[in-house]
Amino acid sequence: MRQREFWTHFKRNRMAMTGLALVLGLFVVSIFAPWLAPYDPLSINLKEVLMPPSPAHYLGTDTLGRDVLSRIIYGSRVSLKVGFVAVGLATLIGLFIGALAGYYGGWVDSVLMRLVDLMLCFPAFFLILAVIAVLEPSIWNIMAVIGLTSWMGVARLVRAEFLSLREREFVTAARALGAGDTRLILRHMLPNALAPVMVSATLGVAGAILTESALSFLGLGVMPPTPSWGNILTAGKDNIEIAWWLSVFPGLAILITVMSYNLLGEGIREAIDPRLKD
């Protein structure tokens, strides 16, 4: 019944439905990239360098004559992979830390929350830059670093939910029936604490994609020739006066993707939070 109510309320939100449609569209584009891309994204053609948008190349070509549309389509794979893997890692860490802190309380809570406060003291993007500068730039290092530096919000959300849930009657009843700590956490409390985590994870995907694009733009992310929206923008920066399409189209791809996940996340938040319902 709750799922039906959630979906009913979610469908009433036109912006959320728009976000969902865009997200699904991005999945389709990334999955069917080999069939949707008109050219090989790595194919170099020095005879067609910096060609403007035309029927031959709908979004123009870059400094090596590669088709920009094909590179943007394949770049969606990189962005979605980074977004989901990094957020998945951050969510798992946040769930573990937050569940322990909220369930046990006392000194366990104090130690873990001080760790959260310590991590929050460092500006996340500059911390990521420092780590990436030491490690070899690669998509796997980017996913790991983003995930390891963005779990604190999830941990706080889960801790707050567990502090409330551990005083509920169903938890007290399960404990009286002999349920151990692991069973209480995994079977009784965690499923009831996932609602805000879903919202945080959805919004986190947008943040991870934006971070990856920024790192690639700075030359510390996905390395050429692998197509990424960020490294396409780098070429656009160097040729902004003569090749505007190298900046506009990958920038629009980032904008639409981040906006779609934000709309979806806000729609989920409004559908699952009773205080926001009409």
Among 138-147, 158-167, 210-219, 250-259, top mean pLDDT goes to: 250-259
| pLDDT greater than 80 at residue 273 | no
* Tokens (6 digits) for 122: 């460092």
Give the per-residue pLDDT at 2.
66
132 inside domain:
yes
Output the pTM of the full model: 0.88
- Full domain range(s) for residue 191: 14-30+68-276
145 inside domain:
yes
pLDDT level of residue 1 (50, 70, 90 thresholds): very low
Amino acid at 140: W
50 inside domain:
no
* Opening angle at CA 231, ends 46 and 131, nearest 5: 140
pLDDT level of residue 278 (50, 70, 90 thresholds): very low
267 inside domain:
yes
266 inside domain:
yes
The radius of gyration computed from the CA coordinates of the chain, to the nearest angstrom, equals 22
Q: What is the mean predicted confidence (pLDDT) over 44-65?
A: 90
Residue range 34-50, pLDDT digits in tens: 999 999 999 888 888 88
**226: CATH:** 1.10.3720.10
Q: What is the mean predicted confidence (pLDDT) over 56-74?
A: 92
CB distance 86 to 143 below 8 Å: yes
202 inside domain:
yes
- CA distance to 89, 99, 154, 157, 162, per residue, from 96 (Å): 11, 5, 10, 12, 12
Total domain count for the chain?
Answer: 1
- Burial code (b: 16+ CB inside 10 Å, e: under 16) for 117-137 equals eebeeeeeeeebbebbeeeeb
40 inside domain:
no
| pLDDT greater than 80 at residue 135 | no
106 inside domain:
yes
Give the per-residue pLDDT at 173.
85
Q: Judge residue 198's burial from the number of C-beta atoms within 10 Å of its C-beta, 0-12 exposed, 13-18 middle, 19 or more buried.
A: middle
